[in-house]
Amino acid sequence: MSERSTKKRQSEPKRPSRGRADLPRLRRMTEAEVRRTAPRELEDLPEDFWDDGELVTPASKQAISLRVDKDVLDWFKRIGPKYQTRMNAVLRSYMARMRKRETPPIRKRRDGTSAG
Domain boundaries of the chain, sorted by first residue:
67-105
- Assess contact for 67 and 76: CB atoms under 8 A: no
For the chain, which ranges sit under pLDDT 50? none
- Assess contact for 15 and 25: CB atoms under 8 A: no
Q: pTM of the predicted model, to two decimals?
A: 0.44
Rounded distance, CA 87 to CA 94, Å?
Answer: 11
Per-residue pLDDT of 34-65, as tens digits, reads 888 888 888 888 889 889 888 888 888 999 99
- Cβ atoms within 10 Å, residue 95: 10
CA atoms within 13 A on the CB side of 52: 2
